[in-house]
Structure 1
Amino acid sequence: MQYYEDLVVGAVSRYGRYEVTREEVIAFASKYDPQAFHLDDDAAAATHFGRLSASGWHTASMTMAMTVANMANNKQAGLGSPGIDELRWVKPVYPGDTLRCENTLLEKRRSKSRPEMGIIKGETRVYNQHDELVMSFRALGMIATRDPAGTD
């Protein structure tokens, strides 16, 4: 199990591989972001996207799927997240793209009120198959401590 004490500020982790499909782009947009450029080829062609593109919220959801799989793979003692900051959709994501993630641990501290958990802050960057940045954000996370009485 990977605990708060095991995490190193400055560490970079690279993970994930998510193939974006046309069917999933349309299904997600139909339910959660039904804008024409996420649903219809002709409508999308008439926009700055030039073709059907994934919703930014779909990109965030695909990123979350890769992140949770990575946490499970590393047996991380994650306890959820109080939120994200600075979410940026830098470049459109299209059907046929393959996404991957990089995360840098920026900060960590023990919770003053809950000694059984630490608070971490990381920056996640999502890239397509051409190594072009498509999305970035900073997130806070909560992770179990191995030793609630410990110090940093």
Structure 2
Amino acid sequence: MSEQKVIEQRGLWLDEMEVGAIYKHAPGRTITEADNTWFTAVTMNTQALHLDAAFAATEPFGQRLVNSMFTLSTLIGLSVTQLTQGTIVGNLGFSEVAFPAPLFHGDTLYAETTILDKRNSKSRPGQGIVTLEHRGYNQDGTLVAKAVRQTMMFDSSHASEAARTAETAQPDSGK
């Protein structure tokens, strides 16, 4: 019996990222009232625009808005499996965060990311800094969120380190 090939889901290594490439992330995420209420409550953001339907009905959009921090978190989250799962060291910062249009309960958020820049770290061998621009659109194609994020990423030399660590952590298969 031959050995089975094992393929582990991961993001991209630093050296696999191409400046200028656009990644379209799937699937999208339909935002529910429960999502918005839970996130708003757990983060202690008691803004009536997110929680109070009667109040929000009297405001310019006429209904509750999805919490913009939930929108930002979900936008970044939609990119993880394709770009940074297991390949990121950590986030370095966010800039140019904007919400040009509101997101409402029942809207679906779709995301795409452009690699704006990358460079090897001067002080951390095997790692580098990547600048990503994330954009979120609703189901009608309206831009609802945008953010530029800098991350510290591993290069592919980390793959062999990770594989060695995983091998030593696995129980003996009895071979």
Gaps of 5+ in 1: none
- Report the AA paired with residue 20 of structure 1: I
* Aligned counterpart, 1:63: 75
3-state SS of 1:118 partner: strand
Match of 2:63 among 51, 65, 79: 51
Tell me the TM-score normalized by structure 2.
0.77
Q: CA deviation at 1:147?
A: 4.4
Deviations 1:66-110 (A, max 9, x none): 1223336xx561211111101001111100000011110010100
Partners of 1:70 and 1:45 in 2: CA distance: 38
**Structure 1 equivalent of residue 170 of structure 2:** none
Gaps of 5+ in 2: 1-9, 159-175
Q: Which moved more, 1:82-91 or 1:27-36?
A: 27-36
Residue of structure 1 in register with 2:23 after alignment: 13
Distance 1:66 1:146 in 2: 23
State whether residues 3 and 76 of structure 1, in contact with CA within 8 Å, keep that contact through their aligned partners in structure 2. no
Displacement of 1:120: 0.5
Listed as ranges, the matches of 1:92-103 within 5 Å are 92-103=102-113
The change in CA–CA distance for 1:11 and 1:76 in structure 2 (over 3 A counts) is farther
Offset from partner CA, 1:117-136 (integer Å, 9 cap, x none):
01100111100000100000
Larger radius of gyration: 2
Q: Quick one: structure 1 residues 76 and 126, their matched pair in 2 at CA, closer, same or farther if it must change by over 3 Å?
A: same
| Match status 1:39 vs 2:51 | yes
CA distance in 2, matches of 1:79, 1:146: 13
Moved more, 75-84 or 38-47: 75-84
Counterpart AA for 2:56: A
Aligned to 2:144, the other structure's residue is in SS state strand
Residue 40 of structure 2: which of 12, 16, 29 is its match?
29
Aligned residues: 146
- Output the aligned Cα RMSD: 1.7
State the TM-score, normalized to the length of structure 1. 0.88
SS where residue 72 of structure 2 aligns? Answer: helix
User: For the Cα contact (< 8 Å) 1:90–1:135, is it kept in 2?
Assistant: yes
On the 8 A contact 1:52/1:94 being kept in 2, the answer is yes
